[in-house]
A and B are shown apart, each in its own frame.
Chain A
């Protein structure tokens, strides 16, 4: 039951979300709701080929259409030095194609017209003469000698983008050689797309008279976008204002800068008119950043009674035509080295090779702290395979190998220091909730009747909250985040943060954090994000980093304000500062609780009656550099039944027990878990951005890229354990991504568990029914 915003001491309570009232009534203000006077509309011409040389582009017919103001090609941009732009991953990407195209739907020309419909009509009149080239779709083929070199701009010419590794290769290989059991599995996490309901878009509004660019954009990281823009476009940074209005979901899709953005800005500057570009659903799915596409091979070793000995992972990462990931600069494979998961491996080694192919560029961290989903999926699948090989219950195998609570802070063999966790307690809570022992009994009975029932386990550890300045930066900018608090004379608070929520509930949860520290209610605190002219600098909202970074900044800023308030309270109460006590809502003299002052009374005094010598006002600004990341974790259990006739999988139950440390708002956390589990379900069973051999995208719309509705979404059962982060000011960890990170393996492990008696140890996702039927048919057990 939700509580009202007027609830006192709001931290940890299910306060009703402030943003819901406007968002669910259609009163949000999204990018496409913004209409500026004189605004023009941009549409892009895109390549029908995955790989082709451009012989000629003829824009005459398009430019001649009445109402068309501008047609831009790569040649036009090249003349201004803007044909290419840097990616956040340190690569570069074509804005509009010059000489050749490298993926189907690549941006080739931009048309600006009086209306969007007219722009699309004109775009259809741009004539491009292509000479098709052989497409390289398979990343393994891309690495073969003699494969066509895709990026002719790179030196030396190679389809390999990077090689990255962590851990001790020699020690790991030696430990595997000594191990009683070694299981090897090749696990693919296919290309998927975050597919937020609101696609990406922007309005560029350049005022020639002032030289000022106001850029409205669907951005998860408005400050980072401002800085990148200053670097790319050469506009002084103080003359750029980035405004990210209400954002309809991001999931990592709205972190990078896209060619359509640059084209809109160039057009606005040339035409001195505001220019809007909003992508279509097809443009979103085919060009603005996919996720995953990791081809992973794992070897996991154990001794005969199931104690793990070593983990070795080799991965081919398909980045498409440009490495347009948004990983922290030192981590080309993101935080993939969390791949040892929740288990106490003595030694491990992981390596990743990034590869160019003729596919859309990426890949972003889709509801994922930079490749953590891939890592978690791999280790949890590997644990399932190991349990099968050992003939052990997958729960027993995990209990045997968990990092024990007394080992925290735990130093992983791949270099991380886990802050806290109690994995056994979390798993045991999940087993109790689902009735694990009884389910295994039921499964044995059903198996005896020839029925297919499976129980899946995933006990994952995440790594979120990038990040500490000693390790994390994007293009040199450290990954701190910030909060600026102003307490007004009447005790109401304006809080501005460097993050930008897209549905996470910051307007409520950060208000709860601040209100708790100041003895106010969430209603008293207005949270504002997304306008770089007003918000303090921060790196934005993705990778579950907002609560670990900006949330921490909010708590610390509020404590600074409270420290000053205490001095003012001493003045008002006419006692020494050391004699002032704070009871959570009021300051009072020690031992005299009846005679107190509230924060509102202190705030008024800060502006009307400050202590002699004290600077007036009541404000606090904090740039928070986290000392470590946070390591949320969870235990997910899933029960499936498989129809032997159609091979459809029915998810009968799914219990998710999450541990994200201190919970700010349990209702918001539960909402996050539901959303992420639904996405994980889709990834396991429905979704893939697939390509044919010519590089044609086979899922360019929601007819083929399947987003689950309430009808197919299973019923989620959630619970939690609380193991606070020792280094976060309120003990909180990030949580938004845990369900997407942890759940795919639970679904797949459940299906494999159901099929294990048939000798099945692995199937690639998505687990379409026909894939399962082929197995059942081959084994002669299909209905």
Chain B
């Protein structure tokens, strides 16, 4: 279990990392948390000629919260979001997703942006960040571009990232009301990739009407998927059982799973429906804490 021989550069700045990528071409790979890349190298599934280590670059650490939203640096680790109490008010889905990822060891080292760039179709962040309407910032030596996550994720282990680009930041728009979000995951054991992962996020106005809705799906397509029809069905209505059931059925239709050792296509689709329904019901209960507690 040793990787093929490879070179290693620890970038002292983002510009240096970008310059190395520009010079070395596709043989160079960015190393952040290394929780997907290094196992693949040890199995010799990946044999990059050069690793460009960015995980200590100060410019890429931490996050900024502004009136427009939240910007996560490229080396924010899963465990940081798991424990970020300050983000719970406006971005509750982040912490509730992070806790489902792998195990504490992986969460302490692995990065959110690395997970997106790796683009495992069963990765949890793709689903959660789609539900949050996130976009990503891609930088090369010569240009900077911003892409909606939906456009960034292309196919299995495939993104819009060019060989000379680094995913430097993830942007999440600020909710236009009170946000509620949760993540449901069917895994065979703890630490497993999702058999089915479902992220649900709704934003309610003062009258408990859904003004924004996001549903992201993991493990049920060649990439993380959005369920736009299900999202649309929720908007403009209170979060109630009839609408929830309709959204769940529409989300199941958006799923496009394959049959494998983790279950049949029909089974996985059904779990999507069950999870969307259970997730939205939980959010509905959460949004009405006063109900049922009167003495």
List A residues at the B interface (Cβ < 8 Å). Answer: 116-117, 120-121, 124, 280-282, 645-648, 686, 690, 698, 701, 703-704, 706-709, 711-712, 768-770, 773-774, 777, 782-783
**Contact yes or no, A686 B189, CB < 8 A:** yes
Write out the residue numbers on chain B whose beta carbons fall within 8 Å of the beta carbon of A116: 2
In whole angstroms, what is the CA distance A349 to B260 when docked? 39
List 11 extra interface pairs beyond A120-B2, A703-B193, CB under 8 A. A124-B4, A124-B44, A281-B1, A282-B1, A282-B43, A646-B186, A709-B191, A712-B189, A768-B261, A777-B266, A777-B267
Among B43, B189, B190, residue most surrounded by chain A Cβ atoms (within 10 Å): B189
**Contact yes or no, B274 A121, CB < 8 A:** no
Instruction: Knowing A646-B274, A712-B190, A777-B270 are in contact, say whether A770-B2 is a contact too (CB < 8 A).
Output: no
**Contact yes or no, A645 B278, CB < 8 A:** yes
**Contact yes or no, A706 B264, CB < 8 A:** no
CB of B101 to closest CB in A, whole Å: 14
**Contact yes or no, B2 A117, CB < 8 A:** yes
Asked if B271 CB lies within 8 Å of chain A CBs, one says: yes
Q: Which of B1, B192, B267 contacts A774 (CB 8 A)?
A: B267
In whole angstroms, what is the CA distance A124 to B43 when docked? 12
Write out the residue numbers on chain A whose beta carbons fall within 8 Å of the beta carbon of B278: 645
**Contact yes or no, A646 B271, CB < 8 A:** yes
Instruction: Knowing A280-B1, A774-B264 are in contact, say whether A709-B189 is a contact too (CB < 8 A).
Output: yes
Interface size on B, residues (CB 8 A): 24
Asked if B263 CB lies within 8 Å of chain A CBs, one says: yes
Asked if B188 CB lies within 8 Å of chain A CBs, one says: yes
**Contact yes or no, A770 B267, CB < 8 A:** yes
Q: Which of A686, A708, A712, A773 contacts B267 (CB 8 A)?
A: A773
Instruction: Knowing A280-B1, A645-B271 are in contact, say whether A686-B266 is a contact too (CB < 8 A).
Output: no
**Contact yes or no, B192 A706, CB < 8 A:** yes
Q: Which of B4, B262, B271 contacts A121 (CB 8 A)?
A: B4
**Contact yes or no, B263 A645, CB < 8 A:** no
In whole angstroms, what is the CA distance A706 to B203 when docked? 38
Asked if B5 CB lies within 8 Å of chain A CBs, one says: yes
In whole angstroms, what is the CA distance A712 to B187 when docked? 11
In whole angstroms, what is the CA distance A282 to B44 when docked? 13
**Contact yes or no, B262 A770, CB < 8 A:** yes
CB-defined A-B contacts under 8 Å, sample of 16: A120-B1, A121-B4, A121-B5, A124-B4, A645-B270, A645-B271, A698-B261, A703-B193, A706-B189, A709-B103, A709-B190, A709-B191, A768-B262, A768-B263, A773-B263, A774-B267
In whole angstroms, what is the CA distance A783 to B270 when docked? 9
Chain A contact surface mostly: loop
Residue of A whose beta carbon sits closest to that of B44: A124
In whole angstroms, what is the CA distance A136 to B192 when docked? 31
CB of B192 to closest CB in A, whole Å: 7
In whole angstroms, what is the CA distance A704 to B193 when docked? 10
**Contact yes or no, A711 B190, CB < 8 A:** yes
Interface string of B130-151 (1 = CB under 8 A from A): 0000000000000000000000
Interface string of B71-103 (1 = CB under 8 A from A): 000000000000000000000000000000001
**5 A-B pairs with least C-beta separation:** A770-B263, A645-B274, A117-B2, A711-B190, A770-B267
Chain B contact surface mostly: loop
CB of A480 to closest CB in B, whole Å: 40
CB of A765 to closest CB in B, whole Å: 14
Write out the residue numbers on chain B whose beta carbons fall within 8 Å of the beta carbon of A117: 2
Residue of A whose beta carbon sits closest to that of B196: A646
Write out the residue numbers on chain A whose beta carbons fall within 8 Å of the beta carbon of B267: 647, 770, 773-774, 777
In whole angstroms, what is the CA distance A645 to B279 when docked? 13
List B residues at the A interface (Cβ < 8 Å). Answer: 1-2, 4-5, 43-44, 103, 186, 188-193, 261-264, 266-267, 270-271, 274, 278
In whole angstroms, what is the CA distance A157 to B151 when docked? 60
Among A646, A704, A783, residue most surrounded by chain B Cβ atoms (within 10 Å): A646
In whole angstroms, what is the CA distance A690 to B260 when docked? 12
Write out the residue numbers on chain B whose beta carbons fall within 8 Å of the beta carbon of A704: 261
Write out the residue numbers on chain B whose beta carbons fall within 8 Å of the beta carbon of A121: 2, 4-5
CB of A38 to closest CB in B, whole Å: 21
CB of B96 to closest CB in A, whole Å: 17
In whole angstroms, what is the CA distance A770 to B190 when docked? 17
Among B2, B43, B192, B264, residue most surrounded by chain A Cβ atoms (within 10 Å): B2
CB of B263 to closest CB in A, whole Å: 3
In whole angstroms, what is the CA distance A769 to B2 when docked? 35
In whole angstroms, what is the CA distance A777 to B43 when docked? 39
Write out the residue numbers on chain A whose beta carbons fall within 8 Å of the beta carbon of B2: 116-117, 120-121
Q: Which of A281, A709, A711, A770 contacts B264 (CB 8 A)?
A: A770
In whole angstroms, what is the CA distance A709 to B189 when docked? 8
Write out the residue numbers on chain A whose beta carbons fall within 8 Å of the beta carbon of B193: 703
In whole angstroms, what is the CA distance A621 to B267 when docked? 63
In whole angstroms, what is the CA distance A648 to B278 when docked? 15
In whole angstroms, what is the CA distance A707 to B103 when docked? 14
Instruction: Knowing A706-B192, A712-B190 are in contact, say whether A783-B5 is a contact too (CB < 8 A).
Output: no
In whole angstroms, what is the CA distance A774 to B262 when docked? 13
Q: Which of A281, A645, A690, A711 contacts B189 (CB 8 A)?
A: A711
Residue of A whose beta carbon sits closest to that of B274: A645
CB of A417 to closest CB in B, whole Å: 42
CB of B42 to closest CB in A, whole Å: 9
CB of A598 to closest CB in B, whole Å: 52
Among A770, A782, A783, residue most surrounded by chain B Cβ atoms (within 10 Å): A770
Among A645, A648, A706, residue most surrounded by chain B Cβ atoms (within 10 Å): A645
In whole angstroms, what is the CA distance A281 to B1 when docked? 9
CB of A459 to closest CB in B, whole Å: 29
Write out the residue numbers on chain A whose beta carbons fall within 8 Å of the beta carbon of B189: 686, 706-709, 711-712
Residue of B whose beta carbon sits closest to that of A43: B2
CB of A76 to closest CB in B, whole Å: 25
Write out the residue numbers on chain B whose beta carbons fall within 8 Å of the beta carbon of A773: 263, 267, 270
Write out the residue numbers on chain A whose beta carbons fall within 8 Å of the beta carbon of B271: 645-646
In whole angstroms, what is the CA distance A121 to B271 when docked? 44
In whole angstroms, what is the CA distance A285 to B67 when docked? 53
In whole angstroms, what is the CA distance A774 to B266 when docked? 9
Write out the residue numbers on chain A whose beta carbons fall within 8 Å of the beta carbon of B261: 690, 698, 704, 768
Write out the residue numbers on chain B whose beta carbons fall within 8 Å of the beta carbon of A783: 274
CB of B36 to closest CB in A, whole Å: 12
Write out the residue numbers on chain B whose beta carbons fall within 8 Å of the beta carbon of A782: 270
In whole angstroms, what is the CA distance A576 to B215 when docked? 91
Q: Which of B4, B44, B186, B190 contacts A648 (CB 8 A)?
A: B186
Residue of A whose beta carbon sits closest to that of B184: A646
In whole angstroms, what is the CA distance A690 to B262 when docked? 13
CB of B252 to closest CB in A, whole Å: 12
In whole angstroms, what is the CA distance A698 to B261 when docked? 9
CB of B272 to closest CB in A, whole Å: 11
Residue of B whose beta carbon sits closest to that of A644: B274
Write out the residue numbers on chain A whose beta carbons fall within 8 Å of the beta carbon of B188: 686, 706, 768
In whole angstroms, what is the CA distance A704 to B278 when docked? 28
Write out the residue numbers on chain B whose beta carbons fall within 8 Å of the beta carbon of A708: 189
Write out the residue numbers on chain B whose beta carbons fall within 8 Å of the beta carbon of A120: 1-2
In whole angstroms, what is the CA distance A709 to B263 when docked? 22
